[in-house]
Amino acid sequence: MAPATSASSSAPTSVSASGAVIEAAGVRRRYAGGFEAVAGVSFSVARGELFALLGTNGAGKTSTVELLEGLARPDTGTVRVLGHDPFRERAAVRPRIGVMLQEGGFPSELTVTETVRMWAGCTSGARPTGEALELVGLGHRARVRVKQLSGGERRRLDLALALLGRPEVLFLDEPTTGLDAEGRRDTWELVRELRDGGTTVLLTTHYLEEAETLADRLAIMHRGRIVTAGTTAEVTAARPARIRFELPQGVPPARLPLGLRAAAEGHRIEIRTHRLQESLDELLTWARESGVRLLGLDARSASLEEAFLDIAQSASESEKVAA
């Protein structure tokens, strides 16, 4: 597949000694009201890597990304993008990055084409307008006023502007929020093409599936901190797999084989296990031998979702204990 980006190898490579294109070290950000949205975050993203920041709403993802985009400066800690301070050295960084805000705005009375043209006039090496719109599948809406676009189309327009200058580094803050399933898949495919073309991508999302399919590495944020980070496999490695089913009337949960750690809620059973195959084997053998029909049987390996829920849950529980 031909890459959608130039992420040019000819571009000057001004990265830090560690080779990271994006770096955050001990970053904190406190808002005027005293709320600390980012409470000591450190991570780095290598050239050509796709890194996802995951977290519930209010976890501090956007507050972190805004610091890297150079929209604000951290209270303590340092951020570097392409070797520069994105806030103080805005002019050096901006021509080489593309940004899609969580909530970006365009004048509602301009047409899609006029919006792209305005942006192109302010972007080094901008793609032709038509090409930028085709890239995100908005070619057929070129003459429509922005106010008439759907929420999903607006997100695509925002993405088109982020890609306009063929950036080396791309910041995408919840790029698929508000898109339908098809639009989401299209965006995923495009982002993957860009990454394959060498673009470094920092993505925030609260869709776990999005992080799972796209990210080379990811970090899960909770209350301003990174709770866990690594590849999907690393993050899910320590988590148990899950088996769910329902027992028919008249079969009490107590009759289940003793080797299985089962939690029962009425007739609904959930089993957590680190040895999915063996546990399933034990369960199914028991079911056949006792002539029990397992309703809605569902078995799955540990996914990011489990890890995520686990982290969110245990974090808030430990906070309760502390309080």
Partner 1 sequence: MTTTTTGRSAAAGTTTGTTATSAAAGTTLRGRLTALGRAEVALLARNRTAVFVSLLMPAAMVLAMKSTLKQSVLDGTGLSVAAAALTGGIGIVLIQAVYMNLVSSYVARREDLVLKRLRTGEVTDREILVGTALPSVALALAQTAVIVVAGTAFFGLAAPQRPELLVAGLLLGVVLLAALAAATSAVTRTVQTSQLTTLPLFFISMMGSGLFVPLEIMPDPMASVCELLPVTGVMTLVRTGWLGGAEGSDLLVAALTGLAWTAFAVFAVQRRFRWDPRR
Q: Point out which residues bind partner 1 (CB under 8 A).
A: 1-6, 8, 10-11, 69, 71, 90-91, 94-95, 99, 101, 103-110, 114-115, 117-128, 131, 134-137, 139, 158, 161, 166, 182, 186, 189-190, 193
Give residue for tokens 């200058």: 165
Q: Who's near 81: CB < 8 A, 6+ residues apart?
A: 21, 22, 23, 68, 70, 93, 97, 169
Shortest CB 8 distance to partner 1, Å: 6
Give the nearest distance from C-beta 41 to partner 1 in angstroms. 20
Task: Give the nearer residue to partner 1 in terms of CB position, either 116 or 256.
Answer: 116
Instruction: Quote the CA–CA distance of 299 and 160 in Å, as a whole number.
Output: 40
Give the HSE-up count for residue 310: Cα atoms under 13 Å, Cβ half-sphere: 16
Based on CB atoms, which residue is closest to partner 1, 164 or 256?
A: 164
Residue 220 parent element (H or E): strand 217-222
> What is the closest distance, in whole angstroms, from the C-beta atom of residue 207 to partner 1 in the complex?
20
76-81 and 268-273 beta bridge pairing: unpaired
Residue 26 or 128 with smaller CB distance to partner 1: 128
Angle between helices 181-196 and 151-163 (to 10 degrees): 10
Nearer to partner 1, 99 or 307 (CB): 99
Q: Is there a contact between 75 and 64 (Cβ–Cβ < 8 Å)? A: no
Residue 195 Cβ vs partner 1, minimum distance, rounded to whole Å: 12
Which residue type occupies 15? V
The minimum distance between CB 312 and partner 1, in angstroms, equals 27
Enter the DSSP assignment of 128: P
Identify which of 168, 146, 167, 143 has the alpha carbon closest to the alpha carbon of residue 158: 146
In the complex, least distance from residue 104 CB atom to partner 1, rounded to whole angstroms: 4
Nearer to partner 1, 95 or 259 (CB): 95
Q: Which is nearer to partner 1, 6 or 16 (CB)?
A: 6
